[in-house]
Structure 1
Amino acid sequence: MDKLNLRRELLSARASLTPEQRRANAVDVRETLLDQPWVQMAGLVACYWSIGTEPDTHGLVFALWKHGATVILPVLREDHDLDWAVYDGPDTLAAGRLGLMEPVDTRRGVEAIRTAALVIVPALAVDRLSGVRLGRGGGSYDRALARVGPNVPTVALLHDGELIDDVPAEPHDQRVRWAISPEGLTSLM
């Protein structure tokens, strides 16, 4: 299946999830992730503020911050690359481009992700064999992931059924080292 049709199929499946299912999924993903020692030890975490039917990250971001991690969230630039700014609690977000919630802190630049000890990214699907991540098609996270060091844990958050075989890949598509869904945490490397 090509990327466009696969995206449509996955977005349709996400739209069919009830709010209760999405909330339960968010709790399962958050608790599984927070149980990992390499998450607990990460001093600087790059994450994202979820929207729509994405696996919810609001509780995860808050929990990481409350446990002492510095959390940086993306700020979408005009060129669709991602700048980064520090999250300093729920009152430090404001609507940005395309209605995305972004930190109001000083922008740290596109290279700030290089210093993260853990990177958590959105995905519509991840290939269970190769770790190739299917995003929404803008390339923002592929550019950001290309800046992350080879030993830094990169984690894609998914709903059940989104860790699949044969995600179509192009040369610019970046891989992740882990995928997590309510079904559990899966190492991909």
Structure 2
Amino acid sequence: MRHNRGRVEPDKRERRREVLRVRNGLTDDDVRTHAQALARHALALPELAGAGTVAAYVSVGSEPGTLALLDALRARRTRVLLPALLPDNDLAWGVYEGAGSLVPVRHGGRMTLLEPAGERLGPDTVTEADAVLLPGLSVDARGMRLGRGGGSYDRVLARLGRAGVHPALVVLLYDGEVVERVPEEPHDRPVHAVVTPSGVRRFGPGPQAPGDAP
């Protein structure tokens, strides 16, 4: 049964607060250890192994760590695109050239993000990706993703739909963030897989990668 539409956003805010409270209790060692496991499982995904271009992101704070995965993809000679936040909350893109190529950018009163220092590519560049790694706070048993609420990745997903391209959509989370159900809205779109430190869970039919969780 769908949530009453008037309740969706309050329900999303409550779930976001719960997840962020738990994440904020993680130590730096916890984050590093989980990041290595996430990278190992993600690299086994055939969608990433066969990708010429992957759109990803740089984790911040206690988010599931992505840098180990970004470096491993780059070592495979995969073209890795990273986002740069625009004033209207849309995303431009740049090519990842290693951790030394990232620069901290503060966006008004919001958090400081690490963004690629090189050439800025337009928002439509994401349509070139064979796989897109999406940040999130939870994914449910249907593959529905709960984001942070800024709307940037809703725009990415809408842009992919308008372009008629269908890259693999993958979310990186901690184990306890895969739940039975998250609040959804009509524009929300399911992902194809979630990677946690324990393994991979897929949604819908598809090949099983080594280390996939049942």
Quick check: TM above 0.5? yes
Q: CA deviation at 1:165?
A: 1.4
TM-score, normalising length from structure 2?
0.83
1-side partners of 2:101 and 2:117: how far apart? Answer: 6
Give, in angstroms, the shift of residue 112 of structure 1. 0.7
- Aligned identity (percent) is 43
1:38 Cα deviation after fit: 2.4
Give the aligned length. Answer: 188
Matched residue SS, 2:71: helix
Is the Cα–Cα contact under 8 Å of residues 94 and 102 in structure 1 kept in the other structure? yes
1:30-69 residue CA offsets vs partner (Å, 9 max, x unmatched): 0011122321111101000000111000111111111100
1:168 to 183, 193, 199: 183
Counterparts of 1:10 and 1:114 in 2: how far apart (Å)?
30
Q: CA deviation at 1:170?
A: 1.0
Structure 1 residue 183: deviation in Å?
1.9
Larger Rg: 2
Root-mean-square deviation over aligned CA pairs: 1.4
Aligned to 2:127: 114
> What do the CA deviations read for 1:123-168 (whole angstroms, capped 9, x no partner)?
1001122x11111111111111222356421100001111111200
Gaps of 5+ in 2: 1-9, 205-214
Query: Match of 1:175, SS?
Result: coil
Secondary structure of the equivalent of 1:54? coil
1:32 to 2:44 alignment: no
Partner in structure 1 of residue 116 of structure 2 = 103
Could you tell me whether the CA contact under 8 Å between 2:127 and 2:165 is conserved in 1? no
| Pick aligned residue for 1:6 from 11, 15, 30 | 15
TM superposition score normalised by structure 1: 0.94
CA distance in 1, matches of 2:106, 2:131: 25
Specify which of 131, 145, 165 is matched with residue 157 of structure 2. 145
The yes-or-no answer on 1:178 pairing with 2:193 is yes
Deviations 1:80-126 (A, max 9, x none): 01111111122211122432111112111111111101110111001
Moved more, 168-177 or 142-151: 142-151
In structure 2, what is the equivalent of residue 93 of structure 1? 102
Is 1:70 matched up with 2:82?
no
Cα distance in 2 for partners of 1:183, 1:87 equals 27
Q: Assess if the C-alpha contact under 8 Å between 1:126 and 1:164 holds in 2.
A: yes
Whole-Å separation in 1 of the counterparts to 2:66 and 2:89: 21
Give the Cα separation in 2 of the matches to 1:29 and 1:76. 25
Q: Please, which runs of 5 or more residues in structure 1 have no aligned partner?
A: none
Question: Which residue is 1:159 aligned to?
Answer: 174
**Structure 1 consecutive aligned stretches of length 4 or more whose deviation exceeds 3 Å:** none
Task: For 2:43, give the aligned amino acid.
Answer: L
2:25 equivalent in structure 1: 16
* TM-superposed deviation, 1:182: 1.0
Provide the rounded CA distance (Å) in 1 between the counterparts of 2:145 and 2:43.
22
- The counterpart of 1:61, out of the listed 66, 70, 73, is 70
Q: Does the residue aligned with 1:161 lie in a helix, a strand or coil?
A: helix
